[in-house]
Chains A and B, each alone.
Chain A
Amino acid sequence: MPLKTVATLKVQRLEILSPDGRADAALMPKLSAELILKMYRLMMQIRAFDERAIKLQRQGRLGTYPMITGQEATQCVPPLCLKPSDWVVPTYRGGGVYFARGMEMRYALLYWAGDDRGTRFPDGSNDMIFSIPVGTHLTQVAGLAWGEKLKKTGGVALTYCGDGTSSKGDLHEALTFAGQFKLPAVYIIENNGWAISVPRRRQAASETLAQKAWGYGMPGLQVDGNDAFAVYKAVSEAVARARKGQGPTLIECETYRMSHHTTADDAGRYRPQAELEAWKKKDPISRLRKYLESKKLWDDKKEKQLADETALWIDGEVKAYESFPAPNPLNMFADNYAHAPWHLIEQRAELEDVLRFKGGAQVLTQLPPAEGRFP
């Protein structure tokens, strides 16, 4: 018997806004000028924030920081397709996502300064803290989506992982569950070309990461991740499908990590400079600006005004971040359990003794009040 073709897979790529700022009218989603301007502002602001954060780290005013630069469209646009009640779980390189969801960035600085008080997410949203062991959140997101399905809320869970993380078993299991139970989930692979020093081609032998979707019975799409309109169209359609009970979608956003892995990394050791230069020409912000200018929605004056406002905003966030007093060491005992067991009550008291041993009998009264719930 001759071999039969039982399935044919077609991997598609969506591009709408070209690097020179021209949009494909046939594919262009309906977007108000106001929304496009919002995208642009968010992307500009988060890039400026990123630049300031790097400076702060270099000055010893911040710990190790993962840069966002280059990935602004992939990060700032998908949250605009969601309701506050939907779930969002970014990666650790997800400052742009949290920002677009309304996070006060003083908390992002606080987190990367090694302060647990930085794990605070926008009020009224269902955002969750990212996972540092990469990809371990992906099955949890299937669970979040499952909960929305069971509660019949129409809610959606959207999450990110990197091209490196797409190699981990976690994604396989997450997509297996999401596909099997037809969960209202959107999985974005934020393919930024590099997992620290390992390029995308060394992760999977497949031509795209989007095509992984077919193994799990869900649609997959590759998107130009530096194209805000394509990202918006792909994600909003995936979210609409999820809300209607039509199941999950996998979206590969192909973008580029324009900077190092983190401030502790030196991409010069492994990355060809020519590759970086080529990607600079595909910058997500400059192409959106060209589009806005062509539609007479933006000009140098507005650009300057936004830059000034942004600088002021960042100054305020940095100031707010640096005005947090040193945390009370006793804080770490709070909120480990809903009700602290005996040994934590003992150990917290022992830490008080240690603090008195170090700083004298009065030391506890000189500390800021302990935060969190204990016992």
Chain B
Amino acid sequence: MNPKTAAKTPAPSAAPAAALLNLIQAVNQALDLAMAKDPRVMILGEDVGVNGGVFRATDGLWKKYGEDRVVDTPLAEIGIMGCAIGLALNGLRPVAEIQFDGFLPAVLDQVVCHLGRLRSRSRGKLGVPLVLRAPHGGLIHAPEHHSESPEAYFCHTPGVKVVIPSTPYDAKGLLLAAIEDPDPVVFFEPKLLYRSARGEVPSGHYTVPIGKARLMQEGKDITLVTYGAMTVTCEKAAERLTKEDNASVEILDLRTLAPLDLDAILASVGKTGRCVIAHEAPNSGSWAAEISALISERGLLRLLAPVQRVGSWDIRMPLFRLEQYYIPDADRVVLAARKALTF
């Protein structure tokens, strides 16, 4: 060995305390840690095993933990969901993957009629500690039914928690918290951010509490309440509002949609008096409607302008050539914010 080179090579040390990861790598690391820590944790879904998931969320785990713990299932979403419920009832900790958001409606029968109700129907005897992972949202030029934002159906379902991280740090911490949660958690992963969101992620085990929002940016004049990939759009909008409108913008990343961090929402909106809720789903009957209703019920007298909702139009997601006109962009958030600021 060349001694010069050898001198440059650092001595082997413990694994680094943190690394720069993208969101999909953070999800993968959380799954890996959860499986290493708890032998009850298993993964089931379409193409999650040999192929490592179509987005590579489970890459390497089939090799590491074997086909009994990382299971390539038959192509049957209701089967995956129902089996995950049965496994969870019987002491396992399943993490079920539904490959695309557009395939989630199939599992609603299991989710609505059973997943959120079994604890109550069994008078607390049974719990369903499972995680249902699915990609979320659009803007990656995906085929039809691959760019949906179906969170409201799940948020509307009693007994189910709904989580959607927007940073790699939160993705890992929230997924570990979701797997350890005694109740079912639907875990949405914004697919636009899978590779574009990068950040420092501690290598060890940690959790981010479910039910707590993240204050992304502090401001005095207006609050942008948002989640998922729309956090990035809101950051862009805030930058423009600061520059062009001299507005001081606060941004709240909800991180958990159900149960909502109402304290954080009311604290922020109470301070700024103005609120824009920005999200990717069609606006009518969306989770933004619930947030808006809660603000009006509990914080009306602190408002200086009507709450604005910015969502997709109330039509189906078009094919991708028009998706940038369908999913709200920074322009639409800016326009809504100006309405509130000039009310």
Determine how close the nearest CB of chain B comes to the CB of A101; give it in whole angstroms.
Answer: 20
Q: Which A residues are CB-close (under 8 A) to B51? A: 196-197, 269-270
Q: Which of B50, B51, B77, B335 has the most CB of A within 10 A?
A: B51
**24 examples of A-B residue contacts, CB within 8 angstroms:** A63-B143, A113-B321, A114-B141, A114-B320, A114-B321, A132-B143, A134-B75, A165-B75, A167-B74, A167-B79, A169-B76, A196-B46, A197-B50, A197-B72, A198-B73, A202-B74, A204-B74, A326-B321, A331-B318, A332-B313, A332-B325, A333-B315, A354-B332, A358-B331
Stretch in A213-221, A303-311, A343-351 with 4+ CB within 8 Å of B: A343-351
Contact for A344 among B47, B314, B318, B332, CB less than 8 A: B314
Determine how close the nearest CB of chain B comes to the CB of A357; give it in whole angstroms.
Answer: 6
- Give residues 107-150 of B contacting A (CB, 8 Å): 141-146
Given A332-B313, A354-B331, also A197-B322 (CB < 8 A): no
A321 interface residue per 8 A CB criterion: no
Interface residues on A, range: 35 or more
Q: Contact: B75 with A269, CB < 8 Å?
A: no
B103 interface residue per 8 A CB criterion: yes
The 6 closest A-B pairs by CB, nearest first: A114-B320, A164-B75, A197-B51, A167-B74, A329-B325, A132-B145
Q: Which A residues are CB-close (under 8 A) to B75? A: 134, 162, 164-165, 167-168, 195, 198, 203
B83 interface residue per 8 A CB criterion: no
Q: Which B residues are CB-close (under 8 A) to A177? A: none
Chain B interfacial positions (CB closer than 8 Å to A)? 46-47, 49-52, 54, 72-79, 102-103, 105-106, 141-146, 284, 313-316, 318-323, 325-326, 331-332, 335
A50 interface residue per 8 A CB criterion: no
Q: Contact: B74 with A196, CB < 8 Å?
A: no
Given A114-B320, A115-B319, A343-B314, also A133-B47 (CB < 8 A): no
Q: How far, in whole Å, are A291 and B44 apart by their CA atoms in the complex?
A: 46
Q: Contact: B326 with A133, CB < 8 Å?
A: no
Q: How far, in whole Å, are A347 and B320 apart by their CA atoms in the complex?
A: 19
Q: Contact: B74 with A164, CB < 8 Å?
A: yes
Q: Which A residues are CB-close (under 8 A) to B325? A: 329, 332, 351, 354-355
Q: How far, in whole Å, are A134 and B331 apart by their CA atoms in the complex?
A: 36
A64 interface residue per 8 A CB criterion: yes
Chain A interfacial positions (CB closer than 8 Å to B)? 63-64, 92, 111-116, 118, 132-134, 136, 162, 164-165, 167-169, 195-198, 202-204, 262, 264-265, 269-270, 326-327, 329, 331-333, 336, 343-344, 347, 351, 353-355, 357-358
Q: How far, in whole Å, are A336 and B326 apart by their CA atoms in the complex?
A: 14
Residue ID in chain A nearest B326 by CB atoms: A332
Q: Contact: A198 with B78, CB < 8 Å?
A: no
Q: Which B residues are CB-close (under 8 A) to A195? A: 46, 75
Q: How far, in whole Å, are A336 and B49 apart by their CA atoms in the complex?
A: 39
Contact for A357 among B49, B74, B335, CB less than 8 A: B335
Q: Which B residues are CB-close (under 8 A) to A327? A: 321-322
Q: Contact: A269 with B315, CB < 8 Å?
A: no
Q: How far, in whole Å, are A262 and B313 apart by their CA atoms in the complex?
A: 30
Q: How far, in whole Å, are A253 and B322 apart by their CA atoms in the complex?
A: 37
Q: Contact: B47 with A332, CB < 8 Å?
A: no
Determine how close the nearest CB of chain B comes to the CB of A120; give it in whole angstroms.
Answer: 13
Q: How far, in whole Å, are A296 and B52 apart by their CA atoms in the complex?
A: 50
Q: Contact: A198 with B322, CB < 8 Å?
A: no
